[in-house]
Amino acid sequence: MSTSPLLDIGVLQRLKIRCISETGWFDTATVFDDIKMAGGAEIDQYTIPWPPFGALHPDNAAGFSALLEAEATDGTMRRVLFDTGWNPAWMDRRFAEEGIDQLLQQGQIEALVISHEHFDHFWGIGSTLKHCPGLTIYVPEGFHPAGFDLIRQQGHTGKVVTTPGDQPLVLFPGLALVNFPMHTLLKVDGENVLYAHLKDRGMAMVTGCGHGGVLNLLNYARQTFIGGEHIHAIYGGLHISPLEDWDEARDLVVNALRDYGIEKVACNHCTGRTAVEKMLEVGIPVMRGTARNGSQTPLFVGNGDVLALG
């Protein structure tokens, strides 16, 4: 038997994930046309004049953001904001509709975790910081100077913590943050993923886009954490068919995902509708959303929907 030490991150009694906005944007063709016009997938995203830097297709810009409410075994509640969306106007609206503005003002959210630097997860940071400029922010190693500039320009007065690759950081008992080194579209490097250990249930994994590959991220939990041998739930973007194309390799991913025996799979929009339909076909327990507040299909756990675990 292997004696490699697994990491004990502690446990949570419950975890509630509120989807503030899963709609990174409303129309995929428009976003990818904008990228093409600006020079293609390998350009620096900061050269594209989207909000908040420019006025290219503002009505198509939305964002990704979720609130994690973690309940400790003694009943203590701790809150972390996971990503801060894209279009400040859209994020202001969603934060007001979900009461995130009040929670930030009251100091009831202790940190903002940025999954990765992509525009739809990060560029709306002004909407968070205007309610709580001193908030601690976690960014993955690989963040660009332009990203740090944006944080400063939005009036941040708190701490910015850069998470190094492959070194789990326990934010508080039961919740760990891991940066997966990766390089993806629009010169973005590194992605922070959250892992929660739920008492008597197993682990929950929360991703922004899952650019590192969902199977790699799940395997990491198995190899790293006590409790990681059973994944109870996943929430977030999985980037399996964001452009709705399909091939055999993707079938293999979905089949492997089924074999994990995860009890609750809650996907956001960049997972791709095609991928979620395939998951349903092979019998993966996909949580359905209510398709409200700008969310376009019940295939995704949508804007204003809550995934309650534990």
* Residues making contact with Fe ion (CB under 5 A): 118, 209, 237, 270
Q: How far is the CB of 271 from Fe ion (least distance, A)?
A: 8
Q: How far is the CB of 167 from Fe ion (least distance, A)?
A: 21
- Of 208, 148, 160, 206, which Cα lies nearest the Cα of 184? 208
Handedness of CA 13, 289, 124, 25 (dihedral sign): positive
Token pair 């996907």 is found at 267
Handedness of CA 232, 11, 15, 84 (dihedral sign): negative
Comparison of 85 and 202: residue with beta carbon closer to Fe ion: 85
Comparison of 180 and 225: residue with beta carbon closer to Fe ion: 180
Tell me the residue number closest to Fe ion, measured at CB.
270
Comparison of 208 and 310: residue with beta carbon closer to Fe ion: 208
Handedness of CA 76, 82, 84, 86 (dihedral sign): negative
145 Cβ neighbours under 8 A, 6+ residues apart: none
Contact 283, 252 (CB under 8 A): no
Q: How far is the CB of 242 from Fe ion (least distance, A)?
A: 6
Token pair recorded at residue 283 = 């019998």
Comparison of 57 and 239: residue with beta carbon closer to Fe ion: 239
Q: How far is the CB of 27 from Fe ion (least distance, A)?
A: 15
Comparison of 197 and 207: residue with beta carbon closer to Fe ion: 207
Q: How far is the CB of 255 from Fe ion (least distance, A)?
A: 22
